[in-house]
Structure 1
Amino acid sequence: MGNRAAGAATLKRLRHSRGLSLAGTARALSQTAMALHHPRLPAVASVQRSVARWESAAPTLPDERYQLLLAHLYARTPAGQMSVGPGSDLAELLGALLDLGESESRVALLRTVLVRKATDTGGVPALLTTPLQAGLSAALTDPGQVTEETVAGLGAVVADINAQVGAVPMVRLQLLLTPVIDACRRLQAEALRDPLLGQVRAVFAAACSLAGRLAFENRDDQASRALYATAAAQAERLGDTWRKASVHMSHALVTLYSSSDLSDAQRLVDRAVRATRSGDSVRVRARAHALQAEVAARAGLERQARSALGLAWYDIEGQTSGDPSGSSFSVGHLRGFEGVCELYVGDPSVAHDRFAVSAATLSAPREQVQRAIVRTDQALARIRMGDPRSAAELLHECVLSATATGGRVPAIRLRRARRELRPWRREDFVTDLDDHLMDVLGT
């Protein structure tokens, strides 16, 4: 009940901060519904009673329609500018909804809707609070005014954009990230004092690494390579081994998926593994060993693959809290790598079960790209188990996932899985899949 009371208090505080009465909030919600071309709300008096119930001593949770309208209302400042980043009124509202009992997945979905809106209207400033917008503007005009808060704000924008991968189209995320990279480049060109210079480099490295991934997803391989090179150079200057390893792994993954030659990916993975040996991020080291296992398995090197997997399990099971990288690499992700190894140098039925376990754990919005990849590999395991019809059924689901995430990697994996269905190409279940692929992906 304490949390619900806190949620009600936040809603009341937000309303008062806008100078709105209960009736004023009801009118604002009705106007928002009209602006969004939603069905008209009930009479103002009826809506007012709903607003009062959300803030009462025994508060109720706004229903999904009102949640969306509240989100649109508070995603704009009183001056009408989009503001959806940490510290914004929208962030306060979403926290209140959680306190009132809404699920994390629903709240995450609401925020994604508003971030999409921000890419249409506000751009990067919408992800920054008003004080941070002012701080960044001042810093770009006079680098002597750069503060730790401003640099941290840029870092928060990069993390925010990264969290939307799989939920917001990749091309929109790339557009959001470009101004951050430009800002870091301009700031770094100045004679910044330590530790500000190191903090800018850390944001620059993270931004360029993510931009390299997004450029790859948007089929600009030349830009992707250049961005990864910049990210690696920044990480090298910082001296944080886990940062270097993270850049190399991200680059290795896109290289692995875009080329049939394993040597380039192998070289990048080996660099990542070497870097993590002296690093203090257990999660990054586990991911590096897992990726090393996948590359070895794809090359048919069973002993090396299983050895690397064993090291990854040792790392992930012995991890401690407070990993400096903030990596989300988990047992669920590792099960997916384990499945890939079984698929290429082991038992496809074991691989299928590993993929099923992995997919079940990958439920967060940020994990949907990885889930689409895992499910596609699960379909590949079904083909190798002699069940092509069931594989085709699963691939229909994967087509929808690939479309929803906009990811290039799931689409590449889909095409590879389809090639394995060639012996059954005249069967109805394969021609149906081809029609679906053509309709949705144009391939």
Structure 2
Amino acid sequence: MNVRDRQLGAAALKRLRLSRGWSLAGAARAIAQAAEQLGRPLEVDTASVQRCVARWESPRSAILPGDRYQLLLAYVYARTPGGQYILGPGSDFAELLDALAYLGAGSDQLRELRVLCVRTVTDDGTGLLALLGPTTQRLMADALADPSRTDEALVDGLRAVVADVNQQVGTVPFVRLQLLLAPVVESCRRLLSGPVPDGLLHELRSIAAQTYTLAGRLAFETRDDGASRALYAAATGVAGRLDDPWRRAVVHMSHSLVTLYSTPGIDAARLLVDEAVRDARAGGSVIVRARAHALQAEVAARAGAAKHARAALSLAWYDMDGDQEGDPSVSSFSPAHLRGFEGLCELYVGDPAVAHETFAQSARALTAPRERVQHAIVATDQALARLKLNEPHAAADLLHQCIDDAVTTGGRVASIRLRRARRELRPWRAESFVADLDDHLIESVGR
């Protein structure tokens, strides 16, 4: 950060204030009012806050607002003067984040502010269009009335919302993410049923495939399996009309995972995984191919087919180690994720000691906010490996942390794995450490 950056940040904060028609004192009053509404009233008078605002906007000596004031500014600018929440591109909130970045706020700070605001706008169900910027909202209204008016700006706006919701997985409750994604799901359905310009149709189908797939996963997480199946069917259909089969492979992979936990047995999931592998092999994404082979290895291991599992896992590592430069997929699948699948293969058809160490390596690497759900799953599997090593106390210790992670993320798969791990502790049900674990489960998840 340099002097020029600070000047840009200060100018942006001043521009935001003036766009609301506020004097320095008016901005100070708005910040104080926000503190009251959040139940965290300021302990200083308005004149003191006004001096802070002036320092933030100083062209010669601008400073970054403190953490508390960053939160209050975010709360103020997340709402339009009319009281509507808007966090998307072109919004005052987005401009605020840019200003704070110029003044020295780190990416983690800005991400946390965004998460807090997303939670706030979905608390009372009023944030349905919060991630759509004001321009995108206007373009969407025009296009829904006449799909032939769909343009690149609208397509870009829809793509940004899907990416934004996807980034919030693991930090915002799934039911709230459903709320944020709902307008994009409906918009894609309506636009694709109309005369969208030919030059934009492919990109809109790509966005629709991503949207329906994510929506199917969110419906599964909120235990609406019927809606989940319908959304995956829609995703499969639209992805099949795209030019590269890897896009349909992505749909099949997501669908197979939710099927594995919502349908008895593994046959239905195995059919979807096999379809994913066929599409991935015919497609142009090495990363998607690696993930498809990893899923194939997991399903084979669960079925006790050790040779098949190890062969698929070897193919997954071969793909993972291949040249990924320019890969068309935006998947976050990484060696850390693949080690989790490797641990599963060892857990079911190999050495539990190797499984435990592999799970530990994977868990240590899965630290990003978006990876919290996967981290909870891997840690629970690590506890199962401990049980196979006849170390129930150590397994229970791990499961305590897994309970906290599962509650924080709200992940359905992690909760299912937790219940399975608890059943494996039945031989020690009379022990106090198991009673402590049950108390933790009841307090945290009610079962």
**Does TM, scored on the shorter chain, surpass 0.5?**
yes
- 2:359 matched residue in structure 1: 355
- 2:133 matched residue in structure 1: 129
Equivalent position amino acid for 1:97 in 2 = L
8 Å CA contact 2:240–2:248 kept in 1: the answer is yes
Equivalent position amino acid for 1:419 in 2 = R
8 Å CA contact 1:362–1:371 kept in 2: the answer is yes
Q: Distance in 2 between matches of 1:60 and 1:25?
A: 17
Offset of residue 271 of structure 1: 0.8
Equivalent position amino acid for 1:127 in 2 = L
- 2:311 matched residue in structure 1: 307
- 1:65 matched residue in structure 2: 68
Deviation digits for residues 15-68 of structure 1 (CA, Å, limit 9, x no counterpart): 343343433322221121122221224122222232233344344332221111
Equivalent position amino acid for 1:78 in 2 = P
Residue ranges of structure 1 left out of the alignment (5+ in a row):
none
5 Å matches for 1:210-359? 210-359=214-363
- 2:90 matched residue in structure 1: 87
Change in Cα spacing, 1:6 to 1:363, as seen in structure 2 (3 Å) is farther
Offset of residue 248 of structure 1: 0.1
Equivalent position amino acid for 2:157 in 1 = G
Q: Distance in 2 between matches of 1:85 and 1:336?
A: 34
- 2:16 matched residue in structure 1: 14
Deviation digits for residues 173-229 of structure 1 (CA, Å, limit 9, x no counterpart): 223323322221111111223122222222221111111111111112222112111
5 Å matches for 1:86-125? 86-119=89-122, 120-125=124-129
Q: Distance in 2 between matches of 1:91 and 1:323?
A: 29
8 Å CA contact 1:293–1:306 kept in 2: the answer is yes
Q: Which moved more, 1:131-140 or 1:321-330?
A: 321-330
Offset of residue 402 of structure 1: 1.1
- 1:365 matched residue in structure 2: 369
8 Å CA contact 1:383–1:420 kept in 2: the answer is yes
Q: Distance in 2 between matches of 1:371 and 1:8?
A: 39
Query: For 2:233, what is the secondary structure of its paired residue?
Result: helix
Query: For 2:85, what is the secondary structure of its paired residue?
Result: coil
**Residue 159 (structure 1) aligned with residue 152 (structure 2):** no
5 Å matches for 1:398-409? 398-409=402-413
- 1:26 matched residue in structure 2: 28
Q: What is the percentage of aligned positions where both structures have the same residue?
A: 61
- 1:40 matched residue in structure 2: 42
Equivalent position amino acid for 2:376 in 1 = A
8 Å CA contact 1:33–1:41 kept in 2: the answer is no
Offset of residue 6 of structure 1: 4.2
Equivalent position amino acid for 1:300 in 2 = G
- 1:416 matched residue in structure 2: 420
- 2:200 matched residue in structure 1: 196
Query: For 1:238, what is the secondary structure of its paired residue?
Result: coil
Query: For 2:267, what is the secondary structure of its paired residue?
Result: helix
Provide the TM-score with structure 1 as the length reference. Answer: 0.94
Change in Cα spacing, 1:384 to 1:102, as seen in structure 2 (3 Å) is farther
What is the root-mean-square deviation of aligned Cα atoms in Å?
A: 1.9
Equivalent position amino acid for 2:197 in 1 = R
Q: Which moved more, 1:429-438 or 1:227-236?
A: 429-438
Change in Cα spacing, 1:368 to 1:234, as seen in structure 2 (3 Å) is same
- 1:49 matched residue in structure 2: 51
- 2:385 matched residue in structure 1: 381
8 Å CA contact 1:204–1:231 kept in 2: the answer is yes
Q: Distance in 2 between matches of 1:214 and 1:74?
A: 28
Equivalent position amino acid for 1:128 in 2 = L
Change in Cα spacing, 1:115 to 1:27, as seen in structure 2 (3 Å) is same
Deviation digits for residues 276-313 of structure 1 (CA, Å, limit 9, x no counterpart): 11212222111111111111111222222222222222
Q: Distance in 1 between matches of 2:104 and 2:399?
A: 36
Offset of residue 13 of structure 1: 3.5
Q: Distance in 1 between matches of 2:308 and 2:9?
A: 53
Q: Distance in 2 between matches of 1:311 and 1:4?
A: 50
Offset of residue 398 of structure 1: 0.9
Alignment length (residue pairs): 443
Query: For 1:23, what is the secondary structure of its paired residue?
Result: helix
Offset of residue 5 of structure 1: 4.8
Equivalent position amino acid for 1:46 in 2 = S
Q: Which moved more, 1:176-185 or 1:369-378?
A: 176-185
Query: For 1:124, what is the secondary structure of its paired residue?
Result: coil
- 1:169 matched residue in structure 2: 173
Question: Quick one: which of 412, 428, 438 aligns to 2:432?
Answer: 428
Offset of residue 260 of structure 1: 4.6
Offset of residue 167 of structure 1: 1.5
Question: Quick one: which of 423, 437, 441 aligns to 2:441?
Answer: 437
Change in Cα spacing, 1:74 to 1:321, as seen in structure 2 (3 Å) is farther
Q: Distance in 2 between matches of 1:10 and 1:325?
A: 35
Equivalent position amino acid for 1:25 in 2 = A
Equivalent position amino acid for 2:402 in 1 = C
Equivalent position amino acid for 1:118 in 2 = V
8 Å CA contact 2:301–2:309 kept in 1: the answer is yes
- 1:140 matched residue in structure 2: 144
8 Å CA contact 1:82–1:121 kept in 2: the answer is no
